[in-house]
């Protein structure tokens, strides 16, 4: 189901708890309590942005899973909001800002390599730990794909784990570019869904 504005805080909390074990997140903020405190705010900003220029789906009552999709114009067509404009540096503690900058640089480079065209971008998807392995993430992807297909746009995302690459590959995505995240030991993979569906008429 689509998110309502009064659910922003609840959805941000689910994203924060669902992504606290993501490798890039652990690298940015190793302390789980600090991660949760910062990312509740960052994800609330992201969700508000997506409600204005994207799509947010949730699963469950109370919410157990959230997917945040952004409609991204082609490079050069419009100024792209990034981590900084989403309040990332505002919410992140000083000791993490330099790492955040490295991460943002890699994502920008992958954007130029893998998704310079107009597309739908899966910024974040997460399911609460106790609700995993029930198909919720797959259902959330299907909802986002339906939205992208109605717009006639391809889908793209980035991920840092082999298990996620396999998960998305099984659902129609392929790796189109990879870059190391300096100082983290991680490689960020940019993936695209093969073809957009037909545009709504």
pLDDT averaged over the chain?
Answer: 90
| Residue 187: both structure tokens together | 């490689």
| Residue 78: both structure tokens together | 């419009």
Q: What is residue 86's predicted lDDT score, i.e. its pLDDT?
A: 45
Quick: pLDDT tens for 40-53.
999 999 999 999 88
Q: What is residue 197's predicted lDDT score, i.e. its pLDDT?
A: 60
How far apart are the C-alpha atoms of 129 and 17, rounded to whole Å? Answer: 8
How far apart are the C-alpha atoms of 188 and 10, rounded to whole Å? Answer: 28
- 68 bridge partner residues: 56, 124
Residue 139, number of CB atoms within 10 A of its CB: 15
Report yes or no on 147 lying in a domain: yes
Report yes or no on 199 lying in a domain: no
DSSP H helical segments within the chain, as ranges?
A: 8-18, 23-28, 32-53, 88-91, 94-114, 136-151, 162-169
- The two beta strands, 155-159 and 119-127, are parallel
Quick: pLDDT tens for 74-126.
998 755 555 434 445 789 999 999 999 999 999 999 999 999 999 999 999 99
On the question of pLDDT at 189 being above 90, the answer is yes
Q: How many domains does the chain have?
A: 1
CA atoms within 13 A on the CB side of 156: 24
Q: At how many degrees (to 10) do helices 8-18 and 32-53 cross?
A: 130
Report yes or no on 201 lying in a domain: no
Q: What is residue 80's predicted lDDT score, i.e. its pLDDT?
A: 54
Report yes or no on 198 lying in a domain: no
Report yes or no on 59 lying in a domain: yes
How far apart are the C-alpha atoms of 84 and 62, rounded to whole Å? Answer: 30
Report yes or no on 156 lying in a domain: yes
Q: What is residue 84's predicted lDDT score, i.e. its pLDDT?
A: 38
Q: What is residue 85's predicted lDDT score, i.e. its pLDDT?
A: 44
pTM of the model: 0.90
53-57: long-range contacts at Cβ-Cβ below 8 A with a sequence spacing of 24 or more? 54/120, 54/123, 55/2, 55/120, 55/144, 55/147, 56/2, 56/3, 56/11, 57/1, 57/2, 57/3, 57/140, 57/143, 57/144
Report yes or no on 130 lying in a domain: yes
Contact (Cβ atoms closer than 8 angstroms) between residue 22 and residue 29: no
On the question of pLDDT at 201 being above 60, the answer is no
Q: What is residue 194's predicted lDDT score, i.e. its pLDDT?
A: 75
Which domain does 75 fall in, by range?
5-193
Mean pLDDT of the 32-60 span: 93
Give the CATH number of the domain where residue 110 resides. Answer: 3.40.630.30
How far apart are the C-alpha atoms of 10 and 78, rounded to whole Å? Answer: 31
Mean pLDDT of the 170-190 span: 97
Mean pLDDT of the 145-164 span: 95
């Amino acid at each position: 189901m689509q998110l309502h504005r009064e659910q922003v805080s609840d959805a941000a909390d689910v994203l924060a708890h669902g992504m606290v074990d993501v490798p890039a997140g652990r690298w940015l903020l190793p302390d789980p309590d600090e991660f949760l405190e910062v990312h509740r705010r960052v994800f609330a900003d992201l969700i508000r942005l997506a409600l204005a220029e994207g799509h947010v789906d949730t699963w469950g009552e109370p919410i157990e899973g959230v997917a945040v999709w952004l409609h991204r114009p082609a490079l050069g067509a419009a100024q792209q909001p990034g981590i900084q404009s989403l309040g990332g540096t505002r919410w992140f503690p000083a000791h993490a800002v330099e790492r955040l900058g490295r991460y943002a640089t890699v994502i920008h480079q992958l954007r130029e390599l893998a998704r310079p065209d107009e597309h739908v971008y899966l910024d974040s998807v997460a399911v609460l730990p106790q609700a995993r392995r029930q198909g919720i993430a797959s259902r959330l992807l299907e909802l986002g794909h339906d939205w992208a297909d109605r717009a006639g746009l391809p889908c793209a995302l980035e991920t840092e784990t082999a298990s996620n690459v396999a998960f998305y590959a099984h659902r129609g995505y392929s790796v189109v570019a990879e870059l190391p995240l300096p100082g983290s030991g991680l490689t960020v993979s940019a993936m695209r869904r093969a073809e957009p569906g037909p545009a709504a008429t």
